[in-house]
Every structure is written in C-alpha cells, then in structure tokens.
C-alpha cells in the first residue's frame, strides 16, 4: 500500500507500511509464537524435553483480510476553520493534517468526508482549537484562543451494508439547534445515514468522547450484520475494527466451541454479543457479561430478535465473576478483554475453577502471555492469528486453553524446580 502522508512524514500510524504484507503477517505469527510458547517453556520444569511439558500450540494458518480499506470506523479530529474544516489528525505542533484520503478507509467511508465538511460549513460548527499552532511555531504571544470552538471530532462508522453512524463530538450543546436544523441536508447528502448523534465532551483534554450522547435520529443503533447475525451497535459501544476479519474471528470461535460442545458458556467482556450470539445453539446456555449497559441492552435486543432464550446478557464487571467461578462455574468461558488483558485475579480464578476450556481472544499478545502465566492449569492447545490491523504491528489472536488433567502435578513440579 502506498501512502503520501506516511511518505511525507505527516502520519506515523501505519508503522509497517514499508514492509511487504506477507512479511508483516509472518512477523506477527512469530511474535505471538515466541511470547506464548516461550512463556510456556520457561514455566515448564527444567530438563523437560520438547513435546512433554513444553507448550506446543497447534497454530492454524493466519487469517487475513483486505490489506487496505478495512477500517469500519473513522475517528477524525476536526481542525481548520468553519469555512475550511480539516478532518484527520493533529501533527506535533497542533496543525491539522487532512486524512480524508487515508487508504485504511473503504471508499464508501472516504466518500462521507466531503458531505460532512459541507455540513460543518452549513451548520457553522466552529472547529475546537486545542492549541494555537502558529503561536507555538513563532513563539509570539497573542490573544489566547486555545480552548475556543465547539466541534472536536467527527466519528463515522460504516456497516457491511454501507449504512452510516455519524457522531459529532462537541464541547457543549451550543450548536445543537443548528445541527438539528441542518440535519435534513445531511440526510440528503448521505442517504445511508442511519444514526446521527451529538456527544458532549466538555473537558479540555485528549479524551475522545464524553458520557452524554444525544441521539438525533429515530434509530439509535447501527446494524452490523456479521455472519448473518444483526449485531446492534449503539454510539458508545465497542465494535471490532475490521468487519470481514471479525466475521472470521467469530466463525472460528464458534467452530472451536462446537468442538468442545459445552452445555454452559460465559462470554466475558462480551460487548454487543458477537461471540455469545455466534455460539448459540439449542441446549447451550450462554451468559454474556459486559461493563457497558448500552452494549448489554443492544446484545439483549439482538438475542430477543433472534428468539434465543438461552442467551442472556448482564451488565457488570467481568472481574466480579471470581466468586461465581468458585461455586457455579460454566463448562467453558470466552474472554475478549481490552488491551490490558484480564489481569491476575480473574486469570487465577479461572485457573482454580472447574472450567474445562477457556477461549481467549486478545488484541495484545503481551498481556495475553502475562495472563496465561497465571493459568498453569489451562494449557494453550490451539491458536490462530487474525490480522485485524494490517500495516500496523497490532493483531488479534485467538487461543483455546484446555484444562490439564495433570495440572496439580505440573504445578507441583514447577514449584519444585523454583
Ligand atoms: C475488546 S472489546 C470486546 C467486545 C466484544 N467481545 C466484541 O467482540 O466486540 C472489550 C469489551 O470489554 C468491555 N469491558 C472493559 N472492561 C470491562 C470489565 N472490567 N468488565 C466487563 N467488560 C469490560 C468494554 O466495554 C468492551 O466492550
């Protein structure tokens, strides 16, 4: 992939742009293999021969999707002026860099930016000024305009059916009436607009969005149809960045869960229910747990639409299931935490529990490896790298952990050699 912004040093997001794509993927595979199998070897008793207690994961070939045009969401910082808005990023001196032609966005997402700029002009949405670039460059003191303006970000999500969710992140509600007044013109310019909102983020800080969301359309959820399942995405909920690769992720999870065949399954950090809803089958009771009430409401609505009475979702902290794991553990657990991982407390509770299998989907192999070190009784047996983020060092990895029959024995051995 070629990128004029990368070549000119204006944007540094795609750190692997110069690396051939096949090399990127094999580097990611090597990275996770070393982290997980290396960690396993380190925990194994010294002198053990490969294939005895050393971790050997059966890796499926890496899953890849399109090398460009794969991002389903654009997070555009708004800078410039109300008559000439710039959508993109800010450089190191606070100057706007226009990224509306960024090759990570599919053409249908790129095509929204020009109509959105027109809307910003018509509704007179003054870009928020974080700092004053010229002053920073010249060193001159001038009237302090930093912190002025209203529009901070425009967030655009596109569904597989090319429907759109557009969110205007504003400093206050000052422009709300103008946005409502001009919304019909945005609908005309973007006929696939399904959800439009204003998010209020008053803090002068590098925070993407605030708690308050004002929905301007009848619909408050974008339908992200993945694997035939109409996942409902509400404004503040998480969604996997790369829809085709997310579809492969959920399908792979479903296959491995079916191979195990649990009658009871928990989906921790379930978001809008991607894993849980894909794994639903008659006779399997599934509970999804997620911090975001919005996401839980959306997941519940989808389960109801699909008539899945054995799939339920609860709002709560996944780390609070530790007590339930001791008394009422399911046969299998899926975890898909944020980059920080599940942490030592939940990992140890899973390790001590009677859960037979854990399916861990991670976007950060380093924290995955740290979590696995707290679960010596659950051995990683299968894995697959899914290249959710081409051109960057990031990737998703799905690992199936199976309870070791000789776990206590193995732990004893590890302790004995320390
Ligand atoms: C990587 S996303 C995964 C979402 C979902 N599994 C999916 O496939 O879209 C992580 C999710 O964990 C949620 N989350 C973060 N901390 C949490 C916690 N302590 N307990 C439960 N959910 C949490 C976030 O709101 C987010 O939806």
The CATH number of the domain holding residue 350 is 3.40.50.150
Number of domains in the chain: 2
Distances (CA, A) of 73 to 49, 151, 157: 47, 18, 4
Q: What does the pLDDT read at residue 45?
A: 35
**CB neighbours (10 Å) of residue 393?**
13
- DSSP letters spanning 143-202: ---TT--SEEEEEEEE-TT--EEEEEEESSSTTHHHHHHHHHHHHHH-TTEEEEEEEE--
Please give the span between the terminal C-alpha atoms of the chain, in angstroms, as a whole number: 49
> Is residue 211 packed enough to be buried (19+ CB in 10 Å), middle (13-18) or exposed (0-12)?
exposed
**Structural contact between residues 147 and 129, judged by C-beta atoms closer than 8 angstroms:** yes
Which of 187, 219, 251 marks a domain boundary? 219
Both 177 and 304 in one domain: the answer is no
Alpha carbons 125 and 128: distance in angstroms, whole number = 9
> Is residue 296 packed enough to be buried (19+ CB in 10 Å), middle (13-18) or exposed (0-12)?
buried
Whether 363 sits among the annotated catalytic residues: the reply is: yes
Both 28 and 60 in one domain: the answer is yes
Distances (CA, A) of 21 to 35, 312, 356: 21, 40, 37
CB 336 less than 6 A from any atom of ligand 1? yes
Domain-located, residue 228: no
Both 245 and 358 in one domain: the answer is yes
Neighbouring-strand partners of residue 215: 197
Alpha carbons 147 and 152: distance in angstroms, whole number = 10
Q: What does the pLDDT read at residue 77?
A: 96
Domain-located, residue 233: no
Which of 168, 189, 219 marks a domain boundary? 219
CB 274 less than 6 A from any atom of ligand 1? yes
Domain-located, residue 251: yes
Domain-located, residue 16: no
Domain-located, residue 268: yes
Q: Which of 354, 399, 347 lies closest to 370, judged by CA?
A: 347
Both 270 and 371 in one domain: the answer is yes
Backbone angles phi, psi at 345, to 5 degrees: -65, -50
**Sequence ranges of the binding site:** 240, 269, 290, 336
> Which atom of ligand 1 is nearest the CA belonging to 250?
8
390 CA to centre of ligand 1 in angstroms: 22
CB 273 less than 6 A from any atom of ligand 1? no
Domain-located, residue 8: no
Both 247 and 180 in one domain: the answer is no
Both 98 and 214 in one domain: the answer is yes
Distances (CA, A) of 293 to 269, 290, 301, 343, 368: 12, 7, 12, 22, 26
Neighbouring-strand partners of residue 379: 402
> Which atom of ligand 1 is nearest the CA belonging to 267?
6
Q: What does the pLDDT read at residue 51?
A: 43
Both 108 and 207 in one domain: the answer is yes
Domain-located, residue 379: yes
Q: What does the pLDDT read at residue 146?
A: 56
Alpha carbons 111 and 189: distance in angstroms, whole number = 10
Both 80 and 116 in one domain: the answer is yes
Domain carrying residue 367: 21-66+241-417
Q: Which of 172, 334, 194 lies closest to 253, judged by CA?
A: 334
pLDDT in tens, 33-74: 999 997 443 333 333 344 445 679 999 999 999 999 999 999
**Structural contact between residues 114 and 87, judged by C-beta atoms closer than 8 angstroms:** no
Both 95 and 130 in one domain: the answer is yes
364 CA to centre of ligand 1 in angstroms: 14
Both 209 and 94 in one domain: the answer is yes
Distances (CA, A) of 169 to 100, 128, 213, 291: 18, 10, 9, 22
Both 46 and 97 in one domain: the answer is no
pLDDT in tens, 335-352: 999 999 999 999 999 999
Task: Give Cα 363 distance to the centre of its chain.
Answer: 8
256 CA to centre of ligand 1 in angstroms: 21
Which of 173, 188, 219 marks a domain boundary? 219
Domain-located, residue 10: no
Cβ contacts of 178 within 8 Å, gap of 6 or more: 123, 124, 125
Q: Which of 222, 242, 244, 220 lies closest to 232, judged by CA?
A: 222
Both 174 and 142 in one domain: the answer is yes
Alpha carbons 270 and 315: distance in angstroms, whole number = 10
Alpha carbons 90 and 379: distance in angstroms, whole number = 45
CB 29 less than 6 A from any atom of ligand 1? no
Averaged pLDDT in 10-residue chunks for the chain of 418 residues = 90 93 98 83 38 78 97 97 97 91 97 98 94 50 63 98 98 97 98 98 86 97 97 96 97 98 98 98 98 97 97 97 95 98 98 98 98 97 98 97 71 35
Q: What is the CATH number of the domain that holds 83?
A: 2.40.50.1070
pTM, two decimal places = 0.91
Q: What does the pLDDT read at residue 43?
A: 36
DSSP H helical ranges for 328-400 = 343-352, 365-372
Q: What does the pLDDT read at residue 80?
A: 96
């Amino acid at each position: 992939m070629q990128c004029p912004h990368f070549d000119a040093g204006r944007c540094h997001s795609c750190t692997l742009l110069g690396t051939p794509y096949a090399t990127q993927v094999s580097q990611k595979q090597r990275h996770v293999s070393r982290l997980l199998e290396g960690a396993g070897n380190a925990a194994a008793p010294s002198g053990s021969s490969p294939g005895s207690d050393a971790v050997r994961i059966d890796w499926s070939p890496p899953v890849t999707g399109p090398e460009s045009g794969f991002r389903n969401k654009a997070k555009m910082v708004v800078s410039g002026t109300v008559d000439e808005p710039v959508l993109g990023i800010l450089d190191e001196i606070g100057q706007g860099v226009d990224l509306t032609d960024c090759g990570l966005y599919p053409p249908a997402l790129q095509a929204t930016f020009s109509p959105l700029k027109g809307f910003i002009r018509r509704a007179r949405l003054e870009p928020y000024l974080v700092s004053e670039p010229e002053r920073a460059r010249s060193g001159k003191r001038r009237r302090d305009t930093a912190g002025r303006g209203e529009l901070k970000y425009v967030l655009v999500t596109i569904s597989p059916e090319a429907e759109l969710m557009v969110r205007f992140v504003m400093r206050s509600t000052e422009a709300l009436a103008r946005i409502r007044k001009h919304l019909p013109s945005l609908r005309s310019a973007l006929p696939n607009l399904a959800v439009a909102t204003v998010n209020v983020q008053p803090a002068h800080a590098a925070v993407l969005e605030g708690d308050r969301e004002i929905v301007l359309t009848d619909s408050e959820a974008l339908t992200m149809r993945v694997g035939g399942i109409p996942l409902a995405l509400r404004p503040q909920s998480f969604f996997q960045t790369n829809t085709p690769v997310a579809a492969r992720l959920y399908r792979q999870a479903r296959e491995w869960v079916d191979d195990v065949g649990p009658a009871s399954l928990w989906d921790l950090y379930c978001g809008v229910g991607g894993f849980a809803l894909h794994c639903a089958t008659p006779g399997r009771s599934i509970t999804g747990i997620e911090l975001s009430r919005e996401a839980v409401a959306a997941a519940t609505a989808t389960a109801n639409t699909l008539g899945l009475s054995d799939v339920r979702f609860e709002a709560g902290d996944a780390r609070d299931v530790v007590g339930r794991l001791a008394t009422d553990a399911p046969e299998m657990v899926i975890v898909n935490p944020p980059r920080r991982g599940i942490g030592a407390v939940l990992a140890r509770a899973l390790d001590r529990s009677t859960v037979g299998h854990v399916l861990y989907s991670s976007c950060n192999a380093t924290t995955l490896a740290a979590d696995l070190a707290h679960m010596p009784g659950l051995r990683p047996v299968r894995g697959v790298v899914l290249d959710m983020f081409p051109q960057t060092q990031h990737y998703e990895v799905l690992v199936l952990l199976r309870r070791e029959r000789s776990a206590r024995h193995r732990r004893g051995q590890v302790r004995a050699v320390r």
